[in-house]
């Protein structure tokens, strides 16, 4: 850990200078980062003029991200799809970030291609265009032609980008470690988990073979579709740093004049595109996560083509059912069903007040059911759902936000091509299809088999687990780990436990006294009832009263936990 801090010291100080320049000296002065600021520079940092205060805090965060470079921009762009983690104002700023950068020299691109292929370019391509088709922070794209005659596009990774990303990821982990307490006070409860998830995403994006596998998967899923096409990846020529893909010509799906010139019905194109996307979500559970107009092409014959599979989302079967259930519950105006499906969808859902949660969902339903079809907007619905998720701190799968974002993008495209385009009309029939699938005999049988296997596994391991626990108890090796989540609740529980313990001890004491009192010898003045001294009866009465108090306290505790 100390070694990482030393190796990143220069870059960390650069980050701190940027933070202070944009008026975030509290992030430095309130965290362990202040120890890395030389004593002689602290005064000047704290009293420097900061014209950036003319902008708001969220804008300054965006300016910091832009200045720190591509890795941080990528992180911010990924977080812009997670409204459960960040406030809406910050997400709006992150959505303004652009990661486009100038292309690197074609000489370097050619050299990298030859190094990866292990042979000269002339032995693979008959033509190679030195002018880039596009450029981004990870790599750039060139058009080429294979020796066999096929036109292709070549994605080439920027030289040294993997090392730079690894350095910045190490830096991010170190920054999170140094500022974890501050970030938690700002409402970001799991910063390390966010960095870990981003690291997995970036590692996957830096490996072009992952994108090639996604393209092959989509080609298999849609092999029988005549209206949808996925370009072929040439995996025999591709590596983790270069990707060769079939070149497909066409116009952007939003280019309505070109569609009309080809004799295509724009409304029909929009309907086909939405049907293809909803099929990805609700049938296959794997979907293209970035369907902006530049990634959705249309051929002259009306075939829709998806390109750039660097971002692909996935839903498990249960997540798919729960996500569909949210929309089905809304269509049926059933807030309770929506709430239950939200809880099924969430990875962690600690909702303190389910009645209030259902009431907020009911307000959402009422607001949208009174609207005319033309007035309904997927963008408005997505915003409202994201606010509810953020307010209740529901940790739902990241794929859910990718879907909502994609539906908003597709609705925008659809309204350009189709005057009366309405996303809800397309989603509705898929809801009925999902219900039929969920309760089909095949699915119910599959669920029963899974439950049976889990039960058998539990029964087979239970004797061994119990035996191990008993051995530890007999040897005195059993240890219980307790994590304090807050002192006040713990003190209240301790106070209740002490009270019940005292009452229980008093009950035991009076019960023992009752037994001993039967053995005593008393004067003739002692009253007896049914041959038992009244002193014994009194002790038994006190014991019964104390036991009754314990029972009432236990019932009240159960009632509080249910509430």
**Residues designated catalytic:** 290
Distance from C-alpha of 345 to C-alpha of 342, rounded to nearest angstrom: 5
Residue 441: exposure state from Cβ atoms within 10 A (0-12, 13-18, ≥19)? exposed
Distances (CA, A) of 80 to 90, 289, 328, 430: 8, 14, 27, 28
Query: Judging by beta carbons within 10 Å of its beta carbon (0-12, 13-18, 19+), is residue 385 exposed, middle or buried?
Result: buried
CA dist., res. 60 & res. 42, Å (int): 21
What string of DSSP letters covers 143-206? Answer: EEEETTS-EEEEEEEPTTHHHHHHHHHHHHHHHHHHHHHHHHHTT-S-HHHHHHHHHHHHHHHT
Length of the chain: 563
How far apart are alpha carbons 224 and 356 in whole angstroms? 47
Burial string for 150-164 (b: 16+ CB within 10 Å, else e) reads eebbbbbbbbebbee
Contacts with 168 (C-beta within 8 Å, 6 or more apart), sequence order: 11, 69, 71, 72
DSSP character string of 489-508: HHHHHHHHHHHHHHHHHHHH
Angle between helices 335-345 and 354-369 (to 10 degrees): 120
Select from 550, 542, 548, 561 the least CA-distant residue to 497.
Answer: 550
Structure tokens at 217: 């998967």
Determine the Cα–Cα distance for residues 442 and 438; give it in Å rounded to an integer.
9
Token pair listed for 303: 């075939």
Residue in this structure with the two tokens 């990866």, named with its chain if needed? 116
Burial readout 52-87 (b: 16 or more C-beta within 10 A, e: otherwise)? beeeeebbbbbbbbbebebbbbbbbbbbbbbbbbbe
Sheet containing 242-246, strands listed edge to edge, beginning at the edge strand earlier in sequence? 125-135, 139-146, 151-157, 242-246
CA distance 555 to 355: 23
> Which residues, in sequence order, are CB contacts of 478 under 8 Å at separation 6+?
469, 472
Q: Which two tokens stand for residue 298?
A: 């249309």
Contact present, 146 and 124 (Cβ < 8 Å): yes
DSSP 257-326: HHHHHTT--HHHHHHHHHHHHHHIIIIISEEES---GGGEEE-TTS-EEE---SSEEE--HHHHHHHHHH
- Note whether 435 and 328 are within 8 A (CB): yes
């Amino acid at each position: 850990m100390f070694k990482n801090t030393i190796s990143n010291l220069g870059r960390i100080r650069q980050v701190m200078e940027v933070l202070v320049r944009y008026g975030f000296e509290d992030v430095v002065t309130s965290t362990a980062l202040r120890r890395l600021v030389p004593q002689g520079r602290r005064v000047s940092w704290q009293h420097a003029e900061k014209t950036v205060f003319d902008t708001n805090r969220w804008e300054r965060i965006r300016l910091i991200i832009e200045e720190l470079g591509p890795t941080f921009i990528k992180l911010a762009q990924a977080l812009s799809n997670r409204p459960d983690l960040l406030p809406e104002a910050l997400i709006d700023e992150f959505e303004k970030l652009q990661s486009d950068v100038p292309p690197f020299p074609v000489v370097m691109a050619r050299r990298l291609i030859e190094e990866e292929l292990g042979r000269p370019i002339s032995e693979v391509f008959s033509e190679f265009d030195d002018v880039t088709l596009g450029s981004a922070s990870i790599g750039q794209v060139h058009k080429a032609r294979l020796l066999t005659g096929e036109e292709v596009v070549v994605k080439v990774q920027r030289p040294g980008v993997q090392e730079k990303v690894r350095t910045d990821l190490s830096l991010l982990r170190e920054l999170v470690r140094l500022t974890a307490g501050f970030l938690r006070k700002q409402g970001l409860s799991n910063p390390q988990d966010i960095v870990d998830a981003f690291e997995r995403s970036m590692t996957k994006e830096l490996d072009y073979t992952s994108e090639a596998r996604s393209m092959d998967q989509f080609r298999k899923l849609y092999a029988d579709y005549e209206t949808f096409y996925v370009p072929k990846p040439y995996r025999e020529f591709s590596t983790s740093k270069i990707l060769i893909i079939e070149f497909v010509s066409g116009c952007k799906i939003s280019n309505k004049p070109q569609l009309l010139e080809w004799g295509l019905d724009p409304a029909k194109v929009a309907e086909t595109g939405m049907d293809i996307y909803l099929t990805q979500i609700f049938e296959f559970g794997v979907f293209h996560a970035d369907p902006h107009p530049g990634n959705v092409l249309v051929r002259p014959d009306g075939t829709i083509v998806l390109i750039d599979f660097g971002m692909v989302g996935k839903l498990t079967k249960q997540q798919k059912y729960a996500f569909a259930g949210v929309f089905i519950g809304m269509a049926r105006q059933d807030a309770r069903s929506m709430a239950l499906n939200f809880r099924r969808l969430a990875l962690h859902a600690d909702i303190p007040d389910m009645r209030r949660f259902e009431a907020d969902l009911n307000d959402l339903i009422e607001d949208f059911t009174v609207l005319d079809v033309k007035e309904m907007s997927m963008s408005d619905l997505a915003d409202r759902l994201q606010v509810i998720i953020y307010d209740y701190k529901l940790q739902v799968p990241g794929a859910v936000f990718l879907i909502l974002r994609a539906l908003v993008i597709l609705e925008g495209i659809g309204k350009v091509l189709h005057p009366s385009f309405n996303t809800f009309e397309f989603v509705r029939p898929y809801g009925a299809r999902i219900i039929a699938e969920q309760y089909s005999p095949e699915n119910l049988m599959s669920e029963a088999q899974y439950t049976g296997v889990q039960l058998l596994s539990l029964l087979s391991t239970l004797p061994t687990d119990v035996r191990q626990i008993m051995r530890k108890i007999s040897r005195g090796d059993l240890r219980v780990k307790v994590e304090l989540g807050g002192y006040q609740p713990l003190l209240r529980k301790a106070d209740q436990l002490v009270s019940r313990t005292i009452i229980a001890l008093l009950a035991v004491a009076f019960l023992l006294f009752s037994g001993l009192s039967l053995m005593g010898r008393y004067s003739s003045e002692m009253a007896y009832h049914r041959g038992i001294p009244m002193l014994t009866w009194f002790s038994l009465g006190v014991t019964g009263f104390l036991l009754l108090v314990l029972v009432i306290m236990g019932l009240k505790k159960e009632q509080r936990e249910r509430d």
